[in-house]
Amino acid sequence: MKKRMSLAVSLVVFVFFVMALSVVIGRLCTYLLEFIFGSSFLENRFLGFFALLLTSVSIGTSITALLSRWMVKPVRNLIEAIEDVAKGDFSVTVKGSNIPELESLASSFNKMARELAGIEMLRLDFINNFSHEFKTPIVSIKGFAKLLKEGGLTGDEAQEYLDIIIQESQRLADLSTNVLNLSKVETTEIISEKEVYALDEQIRRAILILEPKWSAKNLSVDVDLESITIYNNASLLQQIWVNLLDNAIKFTDNGGELQVSLRRINSSLRFCLRDSGQGMDEETKQHIFDKFYQGDTSHAITGNGLGLTLVKNIVGLCNGQLEVESSPGKGSSFTVFLPLGMPMDNMRS
pLDDT in tens, 152-169: 888 888 888 888 888 778
pLDDT bracket for residue 278 (50, 70, 90): confident
Cβ–Cβ < 8 Å for 103, 7: no
32 burial (CB, 10 Å; 0-12 / 13-18 / 19+) is: exposed
Q: What is the phi/psi pair of residue 319, to 5°?
A: 60, 35
In DSSP terms, which residues pair with 325 in a beta bridge?
333
Domain locations in the chain as residue ranges: 2-89, 126-186, 195-346
pLDDT given for residue 148 in this prediction: 87
pLDDT in tens, 194-223: 889 999 999 999 999 888 889 999 999 999
pLDDT (mean) for 258-268: 91
Percent helix, strand and coil across the chain, each rounded to 5? 65, 15, 25
Q: What is the phi/psi pair of residue 23, to 5°?
A: -65, -45
Written as one letter, the residue type at 279 is G
Spatial distance between the Cα atoms of 69 and 334, rounded to a whole number of angstroms? 60
Spatial distance between the Cα atoms of 181 and 173, rounded to a whole number of angstroms? 12
Q: Which residues of 308-344 are buried (b: 16+ CB within 10 A; e: fewer)?
A: bbbbbbbbebbebebeeebeeeebbbbebbbebbeee
pTM given for the model: 0.53
For residue 231, which of 318, 143, 159 has the smallest C-alpha distance? 318
In DSSP terms, which residues pair with 321 in a beta bridge?
337
pLDDT in tens, 289-320: 766 655 554 444 455 567 788 888 888 888 88
| Rounded CA Rg of the chain | 36
Three-state DSSP class for residue 174: helix
pLDDT in tens, 2-51: 444 455 556 556 666 666 666 666 666 666 656 665 555 545 555 555 55
Range 126-186: architecture per CATH: Orthogonal Bundle (1.10)
Q: Residues with Cβ < 8 Å from 191, sequence gap 6 or more?
A: 232, 233, 236, 317, 318
**Angle, nearest 10°, between helix axes 155-186 and 307-317?**
20
Residue 224: in which H helix or E strand, if any?
strand 220-225
Range 195-346: architecture per CATH: 2-Layer Sandwich (3.30)
What contacts 24+ positions apart, CB below 8 Å, involve 18-21? Answer: 18/60, 18/63, 18/64, 18/67, 19/60, 21/59, 21/60, 21/63
Q: Would the pLDDT of 256 be above 60?
A: yes
pLDDT given for residue 4 in this prediction: 45
For residue 164, which of 137, 200, 189, 131 has the smallest C-alpha distance? 137
pLDDT given for residue 301 in this prediction: 43
pLDDT given for residue 14 in this prediction: 60
